[in-house]
Amino acid sequence: METDIAKVLSYEIKKELADRYFGFRKLIEEDKEDLAREIHLSSVNIENKIVQDLARLYILFNDEQLIQKFLELIGLDERMFFDPYLLESPTIKAKLFSEIKRRGLTKAGRFKNLVIDCYELLVEHVEIYRETYAELLESREIIEEEIKLFYQKNDIGSILDFLRNLDGPEAGSSSLQTVPQTGFSENIAQKMLIQPPAPIDRKLAIIPPLVPLPQIKSSLKSLAEQAFDLHGNDFKLS
């Protein structure tokens, strides 16, 4: 009778430990899946807008030196999302500018305003992107802290040792007692670890804040005028 009660208690304790561990693990995995989904959506929606904004400006300047001057002016150290094919493909060019409104009385004026408007869009989308990136980074840090807190309160090695000894020496058929002891706890503990989410920058680019338009408007107009003098007459604006 006492043996039966001991077995029941042993079972209940094991069940409670398993429910607590795997219940928490399920919640963490769900949080990680939600985070991965949000990162993917940010990549598809926001980052793609920035790719298109920069592509438009690369096409408008269409000159190595002017592109470099533009990037230095706005605070970018590298040619993010740059593809030389953008400068050569009329199909991509037409698609990128199809939904951008033209304004201005002269062709030179429309070209210059197009540069300004495209940069305004870029600044807007980068601000949204950076806010979203910060939120995703915070979510990742929260998940990582939750995992650390759980392991502070639930040491897997100690739990495994406890389960191994729970049945007592009589329980010779216990799976935890019949396996080799050397390295077993370390091996299974490693497999049971909950891995933190991957760093955000593995999926999303780190984009610095851009210089606000009012601070560089005159310099940006000057670059636009130089770009128009180089190839603006060949740039078709409807």
Q: At what angle do helices 213-231 and 107-153 cross, to 10 degrees?
A: 130
Amino acid identity, position 142: I
The pTM is what? 0.77
The rounded Cα 151 to chain-centroid distance in angstroms is 26
Name the one residue in this structure whose structure tokens are 């009329």.
90
User: What number is the average pLDDT over the span 105-122?
Assistant: 93
For residue 4, the model assigns a pLDDT of 58
- For the chain, the structural domain boundaries read 2-233
Give dist(CA 235, CA 238) in Å, integer: 10
Reported as half-sphere exposure (CB side, CA atoms, 13 A), residue 15 has a value of 6
Q: Could you tell me which residue, 122 or 101, shows the higher pLDDT? A: 122
Reported as half-sphere exposure (CB side, CA atoms, 13 A), residue 22 has a value of 6
Give dist(CA 220, CA 43) in Å, integer: 28
For residue 179, the model assigns a pLDDT of 46
20, 78 in Cβ contact below 8 A? no
E strand or H helix that includes residue 20: helix 2-42
pLDDT band with cut points at 50, 70 and 90 for residue 7: low
Give dist(CA 70, CA 74) in Å, integer: 6
Give dist(CA 28, CA 31) in Å, integer: 5
Angle at 61 between CA 99 and CA 119, to 5 degrees: 50
Continuous H helices in the chain: 2-42, 48-61, 64-74, 90-97, 107-153, 156-166, 175-178, 184-192, 213-231
Name the one residue in this structure whose structure tokens are 């003098």.
229
For residue 118, the model assigns a pLDDT of 95
* Each residue's pLDDT tens digit, 137-192: 999 999 999 888 877 766 655 555 555 555 555 544 444 444 445 454 455 556 66
* Each residue's pLDDT tens digit, 184-237: 445 555 666 778 898 999 889 999 999 999 999 999 999 999 999 988 777 765
